[in-house]
Amino acid sequence: MAVVRMQAPEVKGPVHEPGNALTSSLEQVKVGQAVYVAGSLFNHSCQPNIHAYFLSRTLYVQSTEYIIAGTELELSYGPQVGQWDCKDRQRLLEDRYSFTCQCTGCSELNVPDLVINAYRCTKLNCLGVILDRTVAGCEKRKLKLLPDASTVYCSSPHKKVEKLNDANISEVARHVLESDYKLEPQHCLVCDSYRDLEASCAAASQADSCYKRLQDAIALNEVQSNVLLDAVRCTDLLRTVFHPYNKRIAEMEDHLAQAFYLVGELQAAIDHCKASIQILEKLYDANHIAIGNELIKLASLQILMGNSAASNSISRITAIFSRYYGSHADDIYPYLRLLKGRSLILDLPWDNAYCGPVPVLLDSHRFNLAILPHTDSLSIFWVQYHRSWETKSLSDQPRAYLLEPERTFILLPHSFELDDRLTFVEEPVTILVRDIRGLHSMELPMVNVQWRHRPVEEANWETKHDIRA
């Protein structure tokens, strides 16, 4: 198996600061090849029910859905449904692994394979798909496998029989539900309208050069206004050619979101990011890891805008990554810690100069959160969520963080309390050392005291009389 790790662009500084939003894509990077005896026993599926990931050299396998006892556990060897269409997936598996995939995704009609590279109908209000010759040929083979066009039998005998005649397929390809229908390329699968795909391809190719210029500008972090306007016009052109759920539209929306972010138009970036996610949700399950990756971009932009909707996005991201990586989600992708920490403060009140202490839960540790106006008299640190917090750094000392303009956040241990004047009473915890100090004609009993909320290193000497008082 190929040993891979998640790689994302490095984010320097707080996630709320301009220039630190994560709007580019995550990717898996191959770092080695190894033999895992148990891992090699899993068969492939383009619609897997388990997910494999690595921590160092250790392989972990996580179920991504509820699995009925006796159901086969299936792992993806490559691109999944929604990522590539059926013909491209099968070609890769044949070239790399020398087998013809007959999984559910490759043997049964599904919406993602129908729409991912489809053209739109010439009728304005019709959502029917128009397929080119190669895609139509692949989908025809699926139809031949059906004993009855109204029923689809799952490839696994343990899975229940599912009906093909569902609302999603009917919306984009109603004709395939008819038992006597002969699927033809260049014809709408809902209203049978004809589209000249040669002319459509010529129009789409004109947008490719514009698309390439935008990609180059984003890579250089120098997006000129004319390049951005051309890209917007090309995207509008592609919408008249490709089906609304075509993945190329989603990719263009994603690149527009990055471009608008780079020029500082955050609301436009959010709108295009949402448009991309809406298309991808038609290609993938709503809780697929691909959706989680896109939601990270959206949440980063929402945080920059101070949009409280970021809390919902972050909650959804956390649920998706936990589904795929379990308790290792934060280790696989540390940026999640920043987002989750940020979600704690998005809905706090901002009307008062001082707010708190508010109980919060962070990485299974309870804290209080106090908010006060920014002042130079406090030691300010940029928030950092990393492994050291779980050991040494989780001391009893208060910690101050500048997370908002003109606001300082004091992160306090759960037992640490501030009053309305932002003061607290220091209490002795234990006496570390006792000593007698001689002063001319008298002896003075002294004790070395450790105080609550302070480490041993900050213990100090006090008179025994003062401690008793």
Closest CA to 402 of 18, 23, 13: 13
Predicted local distance difference test score (pLDDT) of residue 124 = 86
Residue 54's DSSP bridge partners are: 59
Q: What CATH superfamily classification does 197-343 receive? A: Tetratricopeptide repeat domain (1.25.40.10)
Half-sphere exposure of 434 (CA within 13 A, CB side): 6
Residue type, 266: L
> What pLDDT is attached to residue 392?
31
Indicate the domain borders of the chain: 88-194, 197-343, 355-413, 428-468
pTM of the model: 0.71
Tell me the helices (H) and strands (E) count for the chain, helix number first: 14, 17
pLDDT at residue 287, rounded to an integer: 93
DSSP 145: T
Max Cα distance, the chain (Å)? 114
How many angstroms separate the Cα of 153 from the Cα of each of 3, 76, 104, 105?
Answer: 34, 21, 9, 12
- CA–CA gap between residue 352 and residue 373 (Å, rounded): 9
Per-residue pLDDT of the chain (469 residues; tens, 9 = 90+): 665 555 554 544 444 444 445 555 556 666 677 788 888 889 999 999 999 988 888 889 999 999 999 999 999 998 899 999 999 999 999 999 999 999 999 998 899 999 999 999 999 889 999 999 999 888 888 887 665 444 433 444 333 334 444 668 888 988 887 766 778 899 999 999 999 998 888 888 888 888 899 999 998 988 999 999 999 999 999 999 999 999 999 999 999 999 999 999 999 999 999 999 999 999 999 999 999 999 999 998 988 887 878 889 988 999 999 999 998 988 888 788 777 766 655 555 444 444 444 454 544 444 445 444 443 333 333 233 322 333 233 334 444 443 443 444 444 444 445 455 445 566 788 888 888 877 667 788 888 888 776 677 778 888 887 777 5
Residues composing the chain: 469
